[in-house]
Amino acid sequence: MLEVAYQLGYQDLASLNEHIKTDRKFYATSGQQLLDLYSGYVKDMEPELPKLFGRLPKAKLVVILMEASRSPHAVPADYTSGTANGSRPGHINVNEYDPQHRLLLNAEAIAYHEGIPGHHLQLSIAEGLEGVPEFRKYEGYTAFVEGWALYSERLGKEVGKYQDPYSNYGRLENEMWRAIRLVVDTGVHSKHWTRQQMVDYFYK
């Protein structure tokens, strides 16, 4: 992250983060802008998949708006599985609620995480497996499912994505956030950290 800050002409992470926090160009102006952004990342990634994988899912992937009933308290985007036979596509559900407070620089990484080559690829292929018990097709083990999706964010880098340094910074911020969660998870469950100890670690 510091290397990206230097590349962008900043002396440290604090000054880059302050710039991101205060410059409106890093925030959405409409739900449609967010929808178009995610759709564009998916469209650009699709031709890269055969370079990375020998098996691809039958189900297509489409980008839609998240249901308004859950969007005020939901994540920036999430994934809903399609069907194994491809009769119903998988969905990236994009949260358009209060777009002026939604950062754009992490959208590329989230698109790869939630869609392709992330959750859509892994879960759709699993559902289409033959000759395995049903639980192997439909049971989700978070360490693997989310681990795969995190790996998928980096696969985008390996095929030449994240051309915008700010988008790459968003990817690295996502990685840092998850690394912190691993430490905090251990802290609370094994070390019996207080809530304040967890908050303090996030700010380190």
pLDDT per position as a tens digit, 34-74: 999 999 999 999 999 999 999 999 899 999 999 999 999 99
- Both tokens of residue 198? 């967890």
Total domains present in the chain: 1
Cα–Cα dist 90/134, whole Å:
19
pLDDT per position as a tens digit, 154-200: 999 999 999 999 999 999 999 999 999 999 999 999 999 999 999 99
Q: Is the dihedral of CA 161, 166, 169, 170 positive or negative?
A: negative
pLDDT per position as a tens digit, 145-160: 999 999 999 999 999 9
H or E stretch covering 2: helix 2-7
3-state helix, strand, coil in the chain (%, to 5): 60, 10, 35
Q: Using an 8 Å Cβ cutoff, are 145 and 122 in contact?
A: yes
Q: Is the dihedral of CA 109, 113, 117, 120 positive or negative?
A: negative
Q: Of 34, 178, 181, give the one whose Cα is nearest residue 108.
A: 34
Model pTM greater than 0.85?
yes
Domain that holds residue 186: 2-203
